[in-house]
Each structure stands twice: as structure tokens, then as C-alpha cells.
Amino acid sequence: MKTLPLLSTIGLTLLSSAALANDYANEEANGKEKKKPDQSVNVTPKSASTDNTDNKIEKIRVVGSKDSGLELSSDKILKVPGAGNDPIRAIESLPGIVLARGFAPAVRGSSPEDMYYQSDDVPVGNVFHIDSFSTFHPNLIRSFELKTGAWEAEFNDAIGGVIDTRLKDPEIVDPTAIVDFSFLRTGVLFESKINENSAFYFAMRQSLVHLYIEEILDDEEQFQFDQAPINNDYQFKYVNYIDADNKLTVQATGSNDEVALLFDDDSDEVLQNPDLQGGIGVDQYYHNQSIIWTNYSNWGETKVIANRLERSGDIVIGQLLDLDAKTTDYMFKVKNNQDWGNGVISSGVELRSQTVDYAVTGKQQPCNNEFEVCPPSYYADTEFESDEIDINFYNLFADYDWDLNADWSARVGAVYSYNDYTEETFVEPRVTLRWQVTDEYRLKVAAGQHHQWFRQYKYLSSKFGAPDLKLSQSNHYVLGIEYVGESDYAWRLETYYKDMDDLVVSNPLLQVNDLTSSPSNSEGANYLNEGVGDAYGVEFLINKAISNDWYGWLSVAYSKTERVNNLTGEEFRYQYDLPWIVNLVSNYEINERWQIGGRWRLQSGSLYTPIISADPVYPLDQSGNPDAEQEPIFYDPVEAAFNSDRLEYFHRLDIRLDYQTTLWNKETNIYFEVLNLYGQKSVEGYEYNADYSEKEKEYQFPETPIPSIGIQIIF
């Protein structure tokens, strides 16, 4: 069977296996806005203006090096080739970022589920749609910062990384609208003042691929859409400048995704796993509303935040899983930044209440596919559970960032966390020390302890999970040097080490490995905190600010990531271990109307577990023994060592051409992109027939050059 290339684009590859059961993330945490702008390395052209009163996208290109990560902002990320006019997708161009399933970032040896996302001081339900596009209108994104290790104390629920997105505030301007249209999605952004002290904007986007995807499907595909992939998102923000010292912000964001596939009964997917009969599908949404009061006084800046976040995830995977879950969070948070002595102290308190309401019917086959190849679900019994779980979280945090003397500065912080579900208490220190070696070079060393809440509903389940699990923890260590001179060039060299403890692994004694057996220990826990891991590497980033009409950056990363299952003693490379990743991005402004750019990426091939043979699984006769005279139900593959082989190197070049003009007397930007310009065919895996006797290479999308075009009009 041929692989449908477009499936990679719309994210449906994440639906193509039972591993999806492990992907309904329950991401919770808090974020923090950048605290000391003078501590960042902003490479800004001397001739550029920050005046944005003409309501145009500002033209400053910035790559900033933060104490805990990297920050990108402005027009630079909006026009990264291959990102489809989507700024957050440009994250792939930063050092060492691995995109799982084509869109979910994995940072420094952690899972994509170990990430936390926030926008404007509140958590975000979903940052990416399942077609890989982000859930924010591109013209609203002021900046986003990727925090990669030993970040500030306020971020207290992630061991992988943090993406902190900042959306623009509404401007006191006359009504303005921006309309976007491409073959993949359309959107509108409306912004207007209400009076001289208040303004608002509202943005909404709708995907379009559902209108024509069935027309371009290969006739050989062994499935059909029960629901063609469709998604939408919205953002609303209202700002009232009450007086010189007080500001009120009301904001709301949300997104929705739906897709469902029906497999033919004789498709390879169903023949390999009969539990997939009936198809697979996802229906998920989130809605987030918050009120933020900001006050400026002798006590500095104080924010009082009230937030409600509702997320729903309905997932169906044939007979394997039918999950209907909704999580509702209420958060109250107070944070304060104020000058104190030679620095700034940031502190706050957060109270959060979470209700998880779910009903699930699924196979009782515990497995974490980050540590093993899951046994066939067909062997296990089907169970049902319905429950409502209430959890309360309490967090106190503080950071002090100050100048020790003319050459040395430091940030010292800690977070206190407690939840009444696991009843664990965490007191986690964070420390950063900076030495200004010369006027142009700065050395940094940082360390921090981190933990995170469970990312999967099943771990909270008394029937499918393990209520006695502890939270996973990690220690981060960072050493770096950066050039912060007056040149158009800036660079950063950083090395890191991260260890992870109390990772969740499945209990092999509760797994069923054939039709005639049962769990060895039915009284044990489905999952245990018996996984550990480490990751280390070095990252180099050099950025050129715009001068002589061009800008760009080069990033090179080398890393190694390992896991150990203490239950089985297995040691192996982690599935997102890609030793080498290189990105080269450059844009050239031909003149005031035309701009051209390119992005080239090289990375090591992904790890995979080879299949060396397969055993037929026969129906049982009346005596309960396999009946070899009948046709096999399916074939159970026999694998080599877990993650023991690696695919070939991946590389690709994308280009983009922008043309600034006017249509109907309105400012217009027309952009043209070509993905995979030189048609590189990069293997992303293998597809086997029903008995695993034959295999075909599957290639990453696109296998050939793919052009696309989009248009944006400002009314």
C-alpha cells in the first residue's frame, strides 16, 4: 500500500498506530514574562525603528539569547521559509529542536509531552492543530521564547521545555482588518479602539483542506474519511487603560480539531491489528478565558490573574480505545516584579483547582511506548471506567536577579509546590550565575530542579493507571558563552546535561503476551516509577541582524539521549535522539517590494526497532489451544532490540518569495513557497504487509517539490 504523503502534512500519521492512546496530553503549568530585558542579547539593526503606530508589522529582526532559552520576535519569524506564514512553526529552526509527528517539539532529550505552553501569563490548551499549524493568528504573535533548561521558578510544571508566547495588545486605532487566504486555511483579524482608553481585537481562522482532500487521495489507499480533517481557532483581547497606574485585560482563546478515518476490513492496518477495525478519530477542543488586572505602584508591577481553561479530548481507536474526557481548570494567581537593591525580585502565589471527568472503554494492556514495543492489544481484555477526579495545586515562587558587581550578576530562585492527589511536596531551587568576561563576551552557568504533573489521563485512572505513581523529576545543568558585541553578528555556544528520574514505565507482569496467558500479577500496579534517563549535548547559534539588506542564522547541535528501564535492565537510545541537527536560515530584501529567503535543515535519521520475523496467531480451539488448521487472526511481529537501528540522514531546502503590493488600494503581501526544492526523498520509516514478510520505504512529506501560495490584505 502506498503511503499518502499529505497525511504527514495534516498530522494524521499520529493516528496511524495505537500509540495515539499515549498522546492525549494533560499539560498543566504556569509561565512568566521576561523579567530583565537588559539581560538579553538583542541583535537589532541600528537603522531600524520600533515605531509601530502605522499599524504595520514591525520590521525589526531579533534573535535574543535569554538566560533560560531563546527568543524570536517580529517579522523575522513570520517569514521563515517552509513555516507556512506561521511564526511558532519556525521553532524547528532553533538549535536542537526535534519535531515529533511533524509538529510537536521535543527539547533536549525529553518527550513532546514534557513541554509546557503559555500565552500572556496563562496556560494554553493546544498550541498546535493536528495539521501542524499553530493555534494563533500569525499577526498577533509579538514574540515567543523557548526555554530549554533551568528556567525561572514560576515555571513549575515541566521537565522538557517551555514555550512562552506573547500576543500583541490591541492598539488605540481606527478599525482595521487583515484577511488571509491560502489553499490550507483562511482567517480574519479585526482590531479597533473603543474609546481613547480602550481597544480590542478578534481573530478567527478556519482550515480548508477538508474541502478537497478526498479528491486528491490515491485510489490505492485502504481507508476513507468519516470526518475529513478540519480545525479552527480564535483569539480575543480587550484592554482598558484605566489610568496611568492600572490596566485591565480580558482575553479568550480557543481551538477545535476533528478528524476520523475508516479502514477497509482487508487493509494492512486491520490485518496487522484487528483492534483497529472500525477506524480511528480525534475530536478535541479547548476554551480559555482570563481577566488580568495590572497595577504599577511603589511596589513595582503587580498582576492579579483569574483564569478558566476547559479542554476536551474524544479519541477513538477501533476496539482498542474509546475515550471521552474533559478537564476544567480554575486558576488564581498573583505575581509581582519590583526593584530591590541592585536587582529585581519576582515573586508570586498560584492556586489552581482541576477537575478531570472521563469515561473510557479500552484494552487493559499497560504500555509506555517510549520504553518498549507494546504487546498486541488483541490479547488483552476490554474494560470500562468512568470517574471524576478533583485535584488542588498550591505554588509559591520567587526569583531575585541582581548585579553582584560590575562584571558579575546572578539569579537565585525557588518554587514550593504541593498537590493533594499524590500529596507530594517539592521545594526546587534554580540558580544562574553570569560573568561579563569582557565588554563583548559573557559566560553563564545555570542549574535547576524541575518536576511535572501527569500528561496522560490513564495514569490517573484506578483501573487503567496507577494512583500511587509519583511525579517525574529532572535536574538541569547549563554552561554557555555568548558574544554580545556591537557587530551585526551575535553568537552563543551552550552545553547542557539533564538527568531524569521517576519516569513512568509499564509493569511487564500485568501485560498479556498471547491468547492463552493472563497477567502474572493481577494485584500489582499497571505503571511504576522505574524509568531513568539522561541527555547531554552542545548547541551553537550564530545570528546576523539585518544589514546590507539580508539577515539569517545558523544553528548546529550535537546531543545524546538515553533511557534505562530499571524493571528490565534495558538501556537504549531514546526515540527522539537525533545526534546532529543543522539549520541554516537566510532572507534577502531585494528591494522595498520583494524579499526572498531559504531554509536548509540537516538532521540524523530517526531511531526505529526492526522487525525480524512474525509469528502467526491462531484462533483457540474448544480446548483453549491454538488451532493451526485455521487461518491466522493476525501475525505478531518479532522485533530486534528496542530502538536498535537508525534511518538515513534527512535534509531539505525550502524557499519563500514575498511581494509587497496593493490590491483595491489596500496593503497586500503575496507569498510563494516551495517545499523540498531539490526533491530529496528522505525515509521516515517502513511499512509492512500483513504477515511482515515484505516492507516498503515510507518517505517524509513532501517527496517532490511542492509549491504553495498565500495572500494577506490589510483593510
Count of C-beta atoms within a 10 Å radius of residue 141:
23
CA distances for 28 relative to 191, 349, 428, angstroms: 31, 16, 17
Who wins on pLDDT, 26 or 432?
432
Q: What angle do CA 632, 634, 636 make, to 5 degrees?
A: 115
pLDDT score of 601:
93
pLDDT score of 12:
30
Secondary structure element (H or E) that encloses residue 271, with its range: helix 268-272
SS3 category, 489: strand
Burial class (CB within 10 angstroms; exposed 0-12, middle 13-18, buried 19+) of 494: buried
- Which residue bears the cell 494524521? 12
pLDDT score of 379:
93
- Which residue bears the cell 509549491? 707
Half-sphere CA count of 66, side-chain side, radius 13 A: 26
Work out whether the CA dihedral 375, 126, 555, 601 comes out positive or negative: positive
Strands (E), 267-342: 280-297, 300-317, 321-340
Residues 319-326, mean pLDDT to the nearest whole number: 92
Confidence of residue 90 (pLDDT cuts 50, 70, 90): confident
Task: Quote the cell numbers at residue 376.
Answer: 498486541
Secondary structure element (H or E) that encloses residue 108, with its range: none
> What are the backbone angles phi and psi of residue 9, rounded to the nearest 5°?
-65, -45
Amino acid letter, residue 492: R
pTM summary value = 0.85
Residues 303-329, mean pLDDT to the nearest whole number: 94
Mean of pLDDT over the chain: 84
pLDDT score of 99:
77
In angstroms, rounded to a whole number, what is the distance separating the alpha carbons of residues 317 and 283? 12
Strands (E), 32-76: 41-42, 62-65, 69-73
**25 within 8 A of 113, measured Cβ to Cβ:** yes
Confidence of residue 30 (pLDDT cuts 50, 70, 90): very low
SS3 category, 258: strand
Q: Which of 71-75, 173-177, 611-615 has the lowest mean pLDDT?
A: 71-75
pLDDT score of 10:
33
Residues 602-627, mean pLDDT to the nearest whole number: 92
In angstroms, rounded to a whole number, what is the distance separating the alpha carbons of residues 298 and 304? 16
Give the end-to-end CA distance of the chain in Å, rounded to a whole number.
48
Work out whether the CA dihedral 378, 380, 385, 390 comes out positive or negative: negative
Confidence of residue 520 (pLDDT cuts 50, 70, 90): low
Share of the chain above pLDDT 70, in %: 87
Virtual torsion, Cα 697, 698, 700, 701, nearest 10 deg: 130
Q: Which of 40-44, 320-324, 547-551, 556-560 has the lowest mean pLDDT?
A: 40-44
Count of C-beta atoms within a 10 Å radius of residue 593:
11
Half-sphere CA count of 511, side-chain side, radius 13 A: 15
- Which residue bears the cell 493555534? 135
**pLDDT for residue 33 is more than 70:** no
Burial class (CB within 10 angstroms; exposed 0-12, middle 13-18, buried 19+) of 334: middle
Secondary structure element (H or E) that encloses residue 465, with its range: none
Who wins on pLDDT, 143 or 53?
143
Of 167, 169, 158, 164, which is closest to residue 67 (Cα–Cα)?
164
Of 691, 690, 376, which is closest to residue 515 (Cα–Cα)?
376
pLDDT score of 50:
35
Work out whether the CA dihedral 514, 515, 518, 519 comes out positive or negative: positive
DSSP per-residue string spanning 585-609: EEEEE-SSSEEEEEEEEEEPPPEE-
Secondary structure element (H or E) that encloses residue 77, with its range: helix 75-78
Q: How many residues does the chain have?
A: 715
Of 164, 167, 158, 112, which is closest to residue 136 (Cα–Cα)?
167
pLDDT score of 182:
80
Residues 314-338, mean pLDDT to the nearest whole number: 94
Residues 658-682, mean pLDDT to the nearest whole number: 89
In angstroms, rounded to a whole number, what is the distance separating the alpha carbons of residues 428 and 151? 11
pLDDT score of 22:
34
Residues 31-49, mean pLDDT to the nearest whole number: 32
pLDDT digits (tens, 9 = 90+) for 365-416: 999 999 999 999 999 999 999 999 999 999 999 999 999 999 999 999 999 9
**223 within 8 A of 262, measured Cβ to Cβ:** yes
In angstroms, rounded to a whole number, what is the distance separating the alpha carbons of residues 698 and 691? 18
pLDDT score of 71:
60
Of 159, 253, 138, 271, which is closest to residue 202 (Cα–Cα)?
253
- Which residue bears the cell 479547548? 286
**pLDDT for residue 69 is more than 80:** no
Residues 324-340, mean pLDDT to the nearest whole number: 95
Q: Which residues contact 209 (CB under 8 A, 6 or more apart)?
A: 10, 131, 183, 184, 185, 228, 229, 230
pLDDT digits (tens, 9 = 90+) for 408-456: 999 999 999 999 999 999 999 999 999 999 999 999 999 999 999 998 8
**pLDDT for residue 629 is more than 80:** yes
User: Does the bond joining 274 to the residue before it have cis omega, within 30 degrees of 0?
Assistant: no
pLDDT score of 27:
35
Task: Quote the cell numbers at residue 639.
Answer: 522485533
In angstroms, rounded to a whole number, what is the distance separating the alpha carbons of residues 603 and 109? 15
In angstroms, rounded to a whole number, what is the distance separating the alpha carbons of residues 404 and 517? 66
Who wins on pLDDT, 561 or 519?
561
pLDDT digits (tens, 9 = 90+) for 268-296: 888 899 998 888 999 999 999 999 999 99
- Which residue bears the cell 514495543? 373
**483 within 8 A of 490, measured Cβ to Cβ:** yes
Considering just the CA atoms, what is the radius of gyration of the chain in Å? 26
Residues 108-124, mean pLDDT to the nearest whole number: 89
In angstroms, rounded to a whole number, what is the distance separating the alpha carbons of residues 703 and 530? 41
Task: Quote the cell numbers at residue 204.
Answer: 478567527
**pLDDT for residue 303 is more than 60:** yes
pLDDT score of 75:
56
Residues 504-523, mean pLDDT to the nearest whole number: 84
SS3 category, 566: coil
pLDDT score of 72:
60
DSSP per-residue string spanning 411-438: EEEEEEEEETTT--EEEEEEEEEEEE-S
DSSP per-residue string spanning 174-227: S-EEEEEEESSEEEEEEEEEEETTEEEEEEEEEE-GGGTGGGGS-TT-SEEEEE
Who wins on pLDDT, 121 or 34?
121
Amino acid letter, residue 155: F
pLDDT score of 25:
31
**pLDDT for residue 40 is more than 50:** no
Strands (E), 618-691: 634-639, 645-646, 650-663, 666-675, 683-688
SS3 category, 463: coil
Alpha helices in 291-377 (DSSP H): none
Confidence of residue 100 (pLDDT cuts 50, 70, 90): confident
Across-strand partners of 667?
Answer: 662, 714
pLDDT digits (tens, 9 = 90+) for 158-209: 999 888 888 999 999 999 999 988 878 899 999 999 999 999 999 999 998 8
Count of C-beta atoms within a 10 Å radius of residue 547:
13
**pLDDT for residue 625 is more than 70:** yes
pLDDT score of 290:
97
Q: Which residues contact 405 (CB under 8 A, 6 or more apart)?
A: none
**pLDDT for residue 487 is more than 90:** no
pLDDT score of 51:
37
In angstroms, rounded to a whole number, what is the distance separating the alpha carbons of residues 557 and 495? 10
Of 308, 317, 11, 181, which is closest to residue 671 (Cα–Cα)?
181
**pLDDT for residue 261 is more than 60:** yes
> What are the backbone angles phi and psi of residue 190, rounded to the nearest 5°?
-120, 130
